[in-house]
């Protein structure tokens, strides 16, 4: 039987982060995962998504180049070429991680692992013992069990496609569905979004939803919101979406399920080891990621908060420092201050509280500063365009900035620095005293002048 300091179940962002950092401190670690190393982020998530987004972004920019007098002939996208290059790049990342773990002295077992008890894991017919066990198995797309569900694909399947469909229905208006919608529409696919939600990106500030919908309208993305899907009918290549009691949309060449993800915590021995699993399949942990079973830890998507790659990485690294390098004074992850971006077209970016959340907490002490503008990148557009939009949510007499929300090109790149300011407790006056960089979009956040009281539903008057 093999003995280790840490047994890590899951070779994604969080699992690799804790194993890497622990090995750097001299600990002996082993990582179990039957899939290629890198997890969802490398294989079916962040990395292939951003590569595809870049292709869509370049194509979109090319279509607007004539506004500046640039003559281009744009014939479309060689999607098979993109898919091939993307696949090769991901295999390179898988190989990198395998070699990197070997150089670190971390063992890699490409097998599915199951908990036997709080210190024991079985995988590939062998048994492994460890002082600590870290569960970081990530999530997987949800496919609702309804008639015809097998006629729909998932985001995992999307990255296996070598050809684009002519038309697609995307079921779900969260970040995955809308990222796919924007990319596919940029490639020329006829895109329809069907969702139960009353607004797109419902978990974001209402302003973000409202402005992004205007961009989707401009791009020709059809939306059917507030619609409950009952099933899929037809056959591959001609699928219809049944909605409500008597409506249907289609036919579509493809249908994509984008109704959320669920943690991969089933059938891995958690109950046998006594680990508490909530009804929604997430694992309950304390501030240092420890479950109810001493010595068993969980991090990443499976704990049900902050399901983002950098969050899992931060949790893994800080956990290893907490164990093996306490002199670094590591602190637990603050799940309330997580900056996030959706790579829609254009991107959205947010950190901190939405306006309704701030009003619920601070009441009348909330003031909002916001702006909409066209931007120089589309200064010569031949028709009205959807705007770039930004919002500061401030609270208290000192107007501490508790939320930033943006929609528009480059907001994904500008949020990181502003997220530091929010975490440090910056006020509106701090923003005002910062010299703007001109002409940029980011300068708008430090030149906002007119405020209004915060509202629970800031779009009520506009609805």
Cβ atoms of 31 and 329 within 8 Å: the answer is: no
Burial of 216 from C-beta contacts in 10 A (0-12 / 13-18 / 19+): buried
Q: Reply yes or no on whether 438 is catalytic.
A: yes
Q: Is the dihedral of CA 78, 82, 87, 91 positive or negative?
A: positive
**128: phi then psi, degrees, rounded to nearest 5:** -130, 140
Cβ atoms of 15 and 39 within 8 Å: the answer is: yes
Among the listed residues 346, 322, 343, 348, the one whose alpha carbon sits nearest the alpha carbon of residue 333: 322
Tokens of 150: 């097998």
Cβ atoms of 6 and 83 within 8 Å: the answer is: no
Residue 77: strand, helix, or coil: coil
Category of 301 on φ-ψ map: left (φ > 0), alpha (ψ -120 to 50) or beta: alpha
Instruction: Please give the angle made by the CA atoms of 307, 52 and 420, to the nearest 5 degrees.
Output: 45
Q: Which residues contact 115 (CB under 8 A, 6 or more apart)?
A: 9, 121, 133, 135, 268, 269, 270, 272, 273, 275, 296
Going by the DSSP 8-state scheme, the letter that residue 199 receives in this structure is S
Integer distance in angstroms from the first to the last C-alpha of the chain? 65
* Continuous segment of H or E residues that includes residue 183: helix 175-186
| Selected catalytic residue, list 57, 210, 367, 438 | 438
Cβ atoms of 211 and 374 within 8 Å: the answer is: no
Residue 236: strand, helix, or coil: coil
Catalytic residues: 438
């Amino acid at each position: 039987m093999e003995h280790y300091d840490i047994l890590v179940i899951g070779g994604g962002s969080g699992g690799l982060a804790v194993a890497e950092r622990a090995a750097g401190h001299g600990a002996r670690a082993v990582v179990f995962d039957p899939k290629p190393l890198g997890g969802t982020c490398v294989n079916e998530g962040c990395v292939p998504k951003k590569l595809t987004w870049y292709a869509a972004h370049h194509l979109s920019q090319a279509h607007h180049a004539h506004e500046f007098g640039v003559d281009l002939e744009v014939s479309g996208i060689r999607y098979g070429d993109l898919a091939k290059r993307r696949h090769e790049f991901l295999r390179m990342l898988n190989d990198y991680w395998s070699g990197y773990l070997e150089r670190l002295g971390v063992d890699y077992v490409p097998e599915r692992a199951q908990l036997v008890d709080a210190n024991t894991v079985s995988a590939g017919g062998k048994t492994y013992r460890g002082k600590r066990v870290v569960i970081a198995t990530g999530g997987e797309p949800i496919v609702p069990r309804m008639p015809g569900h097998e006629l729909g694909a998932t985001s995992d399947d999307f990255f296996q496609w070598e050809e684009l469909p002519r038309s697609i229905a995307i079921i779900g208006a969260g970040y995955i569905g809308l990222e796919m919608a924007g990319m596919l529409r940029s490639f020329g696919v006829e895109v329809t979004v069907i969702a139960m939600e009353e607004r797109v990106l419902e978990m974001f500030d209402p302003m973000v939803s409202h402005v992004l919908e205007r961009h989707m309208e401009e791009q020709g993305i059809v939306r059917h919101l507030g619609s409950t899907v009952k099933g899929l009918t037809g056959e591959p290549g001609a699928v219809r979406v049944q909605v409500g009691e008597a409506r249907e949309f289609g036919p579509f060449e493809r249908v994509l399920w984008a109704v959320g993800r669920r943690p991969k915590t089933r059938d891995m021995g958690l109950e046998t080891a006594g680990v508490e699993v909530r009804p929604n399949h997430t694992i309950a942990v304390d501030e240092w990621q420890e479950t109810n079973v001493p010595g068993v830890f969980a991090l990443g998507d499976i704990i049900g908060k902050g399901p983002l790659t950098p969050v899992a990485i931060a949790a893994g690294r800080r956990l290893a420092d907490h164990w093996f390098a306490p002199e670094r004074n590591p602190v637990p992850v603050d799940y309330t201050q997580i900056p996030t971006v959706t790579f829609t077209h254009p991107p959205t970016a947010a950190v901190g509280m939405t306006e309704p959340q701030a009003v619920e907490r601070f009441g009348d002490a909330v003031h909002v500063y916001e702006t909409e503008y066209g931007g120089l990148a589309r200064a010569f557009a031949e028709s009205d365009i959807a705007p770039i939009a930004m919002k500061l949510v401030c609270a208290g007499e000192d107007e501490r900035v508790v939320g930033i929300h943006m929609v528009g090109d480059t907001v994904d790149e500008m949020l990181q620095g502003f997220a530091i300011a929010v975490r440090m407790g910056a006020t509106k006056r701090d923003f005002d005293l910062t010299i703007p960089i001109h002409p940029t979009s980011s300068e708008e956040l430090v030149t906002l002048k007119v405020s209004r009281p915060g509202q629970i539903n800031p779009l009520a008057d506009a609805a």
